[in-house]
Amino acid sequence: MYSQSMYQLGSKRSVIRETFEYGRKRKAEIGADKVFDFSLGNPSVRPPEIVNKLLKEIIDEMEPTALHGYTSAPGDPATRQAVCDSLNRRFKAGLTPDFIYMTCGAAASLSCCISALCCKGDEFIALAPYFAEYKVFTEAAGGKFRVAMPDPDTFQIDIKNLRKEICKKTKAVILNSPNNPAGVVYSEKTIKKVCKLLKDRSEKYGHPIYLIADEPYREIVFDKTKVPFLINYYDNTLVCYSYSKSLSLPGERIGYVAVSPKAEDAKGLYAAVMGAGRALGYVCAPSLFQKLVARLPEVTSDISVYKKNRDILLGGLESFGYICVPPQGAFYLFVKALEPDAYAFCEKAKKYELLLVPGDDFGCPGYVRIAYCVSTAQIENSLPAFKKLIEEYKNDRS
Amino acid sequence: MYSQSMYQLGSKRSVIRETFEYGRKRKAEIGADKVFDFSLGNPSVRPPEIVNKLLKEIIDEMEPTALHGYTSAPGDPATRQAVCDSLNRRFKAGLTPDFIYMTCGAAASLSCCISALCCKGDEFIALAPYFAEYKVFTEAAGGKFRVAMPDPDTFQIDIKNLRKEICKKTKAVILNSPNNPAGVVYSEKTIKKVCKLLKDRSEKYGHPIYLIADEPYREIVFDKTKVPFLINYYDNTLVCYSYSKSLSLPGERIGYVAVSPKAEDAKGLYAAVMGAGRALGYVCAPSLFQKLVARLPEVTSDISVYKKNRDILLGGLESFGYICVPPQGAFYLFVKALEPDAYAFCEKAKKYELLLVPGDDFGCPGYVRIAYCVSTAQIENSLPAFKKLIEEYKNDRS
């Protein structure tokens, strides 16, 4: 009959989705303001006002068949030029539009890159904690998925662990910074070490080990943290980007892949990414939103809300005694569960209407993810619940 | 290095694309009105005016994070309900929203269905002439692609040929009506024969052979031709639909899969389709356009333009002596090349600035496709060129 592996993927709800659905039901029972749902990475900050204004302007100005018609498969030329100009202006990336491939968001970008790279027997290494879909995309492309565990204190990359995972079969390392779920930004020092290791091993094995940079949170950083632009550090890099988080447009599915022009046989690599897009059923990225992002490549939603949320949440939780990974970016806080089993901890948190997600799905058991892309009021109102939760654990121990 | 099969897919331009690019260059040289480009299936008829009006209304009315946020993976509940209601109203399809999966257009629908069904060793049969990407999607999913040739006079399905291709390994038959590139609509009589054959063979082999109905041209039919709704004729059916052609929105990537509720283990089959979407990197169909189609499930562009184009083109070409397949739907005319090699014929047509596409890529050598989704003026102005072309062949022969 049908494919059992696809059935499993479609029928097994992720813990995130399950928690979210539980939250919906619970809100209907006791009122939305009484449930502290931190399960989903759905931006709460509105898209910048200019988004809707520009959408309407574009609709009014453009000839309708040109506006809504197919763009070329890699994307509208003006959009690719705008993306390229922005990356060059910000990072001196040395890109040309020929290395920009517009996609239906970061998931599509990742899926196309992994399919473009994967040959029989290849392995892909994710740096934990990692976005669970990396495993899905890798296995769908026929690759083997491996995980390198992080430094358990900082959640930065542990080079020693990464070194152990790399072998002759390694095709690529997937790196996500600012990180979902830990909120850390990998430092330039760490990045340099990773790149050195990959370069050495590429030479040793006689084939490139690629770096796939998953960067939907690039613009969501606090305290002037710098996010190194990996094309400038490592030649065989593919950058996967999405406007979902920066412009609060996750439902509209618009992003891109930028292939480093310095990659080995960069043009061939780019063609393989395009070919993978074709094979997976992607025709072009949504046309209206291609036109939109061409006009505002460097605008973002109001990031200061996420910083404010982080400060209140981190300050509150640490003052109660929680052990947190201080986030420098994205909108997630990774917190040590108060018992070894994060699932059990999340169940207990539900008693206080706190909906958290166990770190197990991100490759880091014993931790939970708090998605703080919610209203600041929800953060403030949830603090007493977090306090009661830790007190229950303290009382149990005494 | 990267995958050679993906590289091939990304670097080998399709003949359609190449012809289109040639046309662009040629138009720059001698003027757009002098080049008769019939290469692309890009609708020339504007989207109905209500499309842009509704888009602006939705943008003004909806809360922005709800409008542009993630919808649930299978699609916005209101959209799925509207699609389902429309199908039930028109075809008494007995569907519920639980069997509607919103997608990024027909290519995504097909790719998800084929991936959902494909197990190791499976074969998929396309009915020639067929859309070339069926082969790409099938092979990307790990399946083997087979072709059943049509009745050479009518381009209807030749049951004898289909019977020969079916074997124990057959997982599905892909059926496209109204047909690209032949413009034929498979008659109810033909459909019933196909369904009977598939039912018999499913029983014989002890596993379902699925019917994948690729239906982006469903609404584009002339002379009151009826397009049988396959869910009503065969239980193990998956319908792949797109609004690209009916609403002239091909760049916006919006469509759906409808799984027959009467399919064997229909819920499991639907879950497999969803799982395939997830594995291929689809997250949700573009949110704004989901909201749009929910509000106009039965509106179409002005189809009468395509009928007018067909009548002028078919009348003209037949009067000159061309042998044409009379199209009952879609916006393609399939014409017998004036020499056995359709590529050579297309090259000769270029002398008269006529840009046609050889039938070889659609599995039918010796024919060419004329996409008449162009301005009526282009059709009228091109007729003298078609006349000169056939006269050249007549003169060569005498």
Task: Tell me the mean pLDDT in the region B314-335.
Answer: 97
Whole-Å CA distances, A188 to A89, A185, B44: 20, 9, 51
Helix (H, G, I), strand (E, B) or coil at A389: helix
Q: Across the strands, what pairs with B232?
A: none
Helix (H, G, I), strand (E, B) or coil at A71: coil
What tokens does B52 get? Answer: 């842009």
Nearest 10 degrees: Cα torsion B266, B268, B272, B277:
70
Q: What is the pLDDT of residue B398?
A: 72
What tokens does A107 get? Answer: 């998931």
Q: Which amino acid is at A364?
A: C
Phi, psi of A232 (to 5 degrees): -80, -10
| Cis preceding linkage at A181, omega within 30 | yes
The DSSP bridge pattern shows strands A324-325 and A123-127 to be unpaired
What tokens does B258 get? Answer: 């409808």
For chain A positions 252-271, those within 8 Å of chain B (CB to CB) are: 252-253, 264-265, 268-271
Contact status of A237 with chain B (Cβ, < 8 Å): no
DSSP state of B96: -
Contact status of B299 with chain A (Cβ, < 8 Å): no
Closest CB from B2, B10, B279 relative to A117: B2
Task: Average the pLDDT over each of A228-232, A320-324, B378-382, B392-396 and give the range with the smallest value.
Answer: B392-396
Q: What is the pLDDT of residue A298?
A: 86
Instruction: Assess contact for A334 and A359: CB atoms under 8 A.
Output: yes
B240-276 residue pLDDT tens? 999 999 999 999 999 999 999 999 999 999 999 999 9
Instruction: Assess contact for B172 and B210: CB atoms under 8 A.
Output: yes
Q: Across the strands, what pairs with A125?
A: A146, A173
DSSP state of A62: S
Q: What is the pLDDT of residue B174?
A: 98
Closest CB from A10, A133, A288 relative to B252: A288
What secondary structure does DSSP assign to A232-251, as a single string?
GT-SSEEEEEESTTTTT-GG
A278 with B9: Cβ contact below 8 A: yes
Helix (H, G, I), strand (E, B) or coil at A116: helix
C-alpha atoms less than 13 angstroms from C-alpha of B330 in its C-beta half-sphere = 27
The percent of residues in chain B predicted with pLDDT above 70, rounded, is 100
> What is the dihedral sign for C-alpha A30, A33, A36, A42?
positive
Give the containing element (helix H, strand E) for B114: helix B106-117
CA pair distance A106, B302, nearest whole angstrom: 36
What tokens does B197 get? Answer: 């054959």
Closest CB from A6, A47, A265 relative to B68: A47
Q: What is the pLDDT along chain A (398 residues), one digit of tens a residue?
A: 899 999 999 998 778 888 888 998 999 999 999 999 999 888 989 999 999 999 999 999 999 999 999 998 999 999 999 999 999 999 999 999 999 999 999 999 999 999 999 999 999 999 999 999 999 999 999 999 999 999 999 999 999 999 999 999 999 999 999 999 999 999 999 999 999 999 999 999 999 999 999 999 999 999 999 999 999 999 999 999 999 999 999 999 999 999 999 999 999 999 999 999 999 999 999 999 999 999 998 899 999 999 999 999 999 999 999 999 999 999 999 999 999 999 999 999 999 999 999 999 899 999 999 999 999 999 999 999 999 999 999 998 77
Mean pLDDT of chain B: 96
Q: What is the pLDDT of residue A24?
A: 86
B3 with A107: Cβ contact below 8 A: no
Q: What is the pLDDT of residue A21?
A: 84
B231-242 residue pLDDT tens? 999 999 999 999
Contact status of A301 with chain B (Cβ, < 8 Å): no
Asked if residue B397 has pLDDT above 80, the reply is no
Q: What is the pLDDT of residue A81?
A: 98
Q: What is the pLDDT of residue B102?
A: 98
Helix (H, G, I), strand (E, B) or coil at B119: coil
Asked if residue B16 has pLDDT above 90, the reply is no
Q: What is the pLDDT of residue A227?
A: 97
Asked if residue B216 has pLDDT above 80, the reply is yes
Q: What is the pLDDT of residue B122?
A: 98
Q: Which amino acid is at A65?
A: T
Contact status of B53 with chain A (Cβ, < 8 Å): no
User: Between A287-295 and A77-91, two packed helices, what is the crossing angle to 10 degrees?
Assistant: 40
| Cis preceding linkage at B129, omega within 30 | yes
The DSSP bridge pattern shows strands A367-371 and A332-336 to be antiparallel
B62-106 residue pLDDT tens? 999 999 999 989 999 999 999 999 999 999 999 999 999 999 999
> What is the band of B18 on the pLDDT scale with cuts at 50, 70, 90?
confident
For chain A positions 112-141, those within 8 Å of chain B (CB to CB) are: 112, 115-119, 133, 136-137, 139-140
Task: Tell me the mean pLDDT in the region B310-316.
Answer: 98
Residue with tokens 């091939």: B8
C-alpha atoms less than 13 angstroms from C-alpha of B383 in its C-beta half-sphere = 18
A298-322 residue pLDDT tens? 899 999 999 999 999 999 999 999 9
Q: Which residues of A touch B276 (CB under 8 A)?
A: 3, 6, 9-10
Instruction: Assess contact for B373 and B331: CB atoms under 8 A.
Output: yes
Burial class of residue B207, CB neighbours in 10 A (0-12, 13-18, 19+): middle
Check residues B18 and B252 and name the one with the higher pLDDT.
B252
Closest listed residue to residue A209, CA positions, set A239, A233, A174: A174
What secondary structure does DSSP assign to A122-138, as a single string?
-EEEEESS--THHHHHH
Closest listed residue to residue B368, CA positions, set B354, B384, B385, B353: B354
CA pair distance A119, B114, nearest whole angstrom: 21
Burial class of residue A218, CB neighbours in 10 A (0-12, 13-18, 19+): buried
Interface pTM, i.e. ipTM: 0.95
